[in-house]
Amino acid sequence: MKKEVVLNNIDFKELSKHCKSQDDIASLTKEFMKNMIENMLKAEIEEFVENNNASKNGYYPKRVRSDSGEIELNIPRDRNSEFEPQIVKKGQRNISGIDDKIISMYARGMSLRDIEKQIKEMYDVEMSDSIISRIIDKITPEIEEWQNRTLEPVYPIVYMDAMVFKIKDDNGFYKNKALHFAIGINLEGKKDLLGMWITNNEGAKFWLSIVTDLKNRGVEDILIASVDGLKGFSEAINSVFPQTVVQRCIIHQIRYSMKYVGSKYQKEFMQDLKKVYKAPTKSAAEDALLELEQKWGEKYPMVINSWTNNWTELSAYFEYSEPIRRIIYTTNTVEGFNRQIRKITKTKGGFSNDESLFKLVYLAYNEHFPSKIPINPMVKPKTH
């Protein structure tokens, strides 16, 4: 049917006399939507009856959500209940983009109550918390498929870290749990959240199960793993990927160091420390580290020992060119991920269960994070 034919049958001049406000226009739009859909359903049932030698059997009411608000439709049916409407299918309760908008609002950190108010304002549709929850739950199968998907065989860089959230346990008490995650950079320089795992505490044993999961999902090699200073982390990674170069995050190391340096000396100490991690070569960095030890070793032995004892993993990035160093000696990619997730979850306080946290982080990642990092990290490691 041509649009002009439909429009020519509408007396807009007469209709305009009855529209005195935005609410009148919204009400009229909803009525147009209802009439249009019901006429299309009538055409469908007529064709069905004619082609199948069937008999009509009246109508049944059905309430659906639309971009014009909630609409009560009269759905035609046949005597044998064989008619399958196409414009509004059986079981379909939404004929608009409301569901997608609800999921998008949830991904931006809005509470169920805030979403309920927003939907009412936008669409004049009353939706309870339970209905909104069921809509959001629709992504659960998608998340399960994503978490178990086959990964690429090689990732030049994989960042691994964990964040702590309060999650309600079976007894109704909020407890700290760690959300572990791995972000990989593939051979095309594209960034991808490889997976998420939740446990009570971050530990090397659990990370071992994570890297084993990555291997079982198709990962054959990781060139560089950028991690924090968790004890046993490197051993867990190398037990599954023995050729992987482990780079400890310099930023984590600096933060650890500065906690033990008195405020009076922090500026001076930091100037000397920069000569270590910003040195042009590993040899120059080791000379600067020796000078740091000679100057500050007696005053802050624990800090200096932390650098010297872990130097192999702290200095791995010196084997690469400057552009590559910038993206592996620090977990900036992870820090950006953490900041965005914290921004979205800060008003939550706590989560009712593991799944609710998992859904929000998954949606937030897909909503907010670009897939490509600034440079292409495809570089052959010198150590392989």
Question: At a CB cut-off of 8 Å and minimum separation 6, what does 378 contact?
Answer: 156, 187, 189
CA 201 – CA 188 distance, rounded (Å): 34
Identify which of 45, 43, 70, 73 has the alpha carbon closest to the alpha carbon of residue 61.
73
How confident is the model over 331-365, as pLDDT tens digits? Answer: 677 778 888 888 888 877 788 889 989 998 998 88
Amino acid at 182: A
Q: What pLDDT is attached to residue 384?
A: 42
The pLDDT confidence band at residue 133, using thresholds 50, 70 and 90, is confident
Question: Which is more confidently placed, 45 or 87?
Answer: 45
Assign 3-state DSSP to the chain and report helix, strand, coil percentages, each to 5.
50, 20, 30
Q: How far is it, in rounded angstroms, from Cα 357 to Cα 335?
A: 19
The DSSP secondary structure of 329-342, one letter per residue, reads: SS-HHHHHHHHHHH
Strand ranges (E), 144-300: 154-168, 174-185, 191-199, 221-227, 245-248
Q: What is the mean pLDDT of the chain?
A: 84
Of 17-21, 83-87, 177-181, the range with the highest mean pLDDT is 177-181
Q: Tens digits of per-residue pLDDT, 240-249? A: 999 999 999 8
Q: Are 47 and 38 in contact (CB under 8 A)?
A: no
The mean pLDDT of 252-271, rounded to a whole number, is 93
SS3 55: coil
pLDDT at 8: 46
Kindly report, residue by residue over 136-147, the tens digit of the pLDDT: 887 888 899 999
pLDDT score at 1: 43
Nearest by Cα to 65 from 127, 128, 143: 127
Q: What global pTM score does this model have?
A: 0.69
Does the pLDDT at position 67 exceed 60?
yes
Q: What is the mean pLDDT of residues 190-195?
A: 92
Question: What pLDDT was estimated at residue 266?
Answer: 95
The proportion of the chain whose per-residue pLDDT surpasses 90, expressed as a percent, equals 40
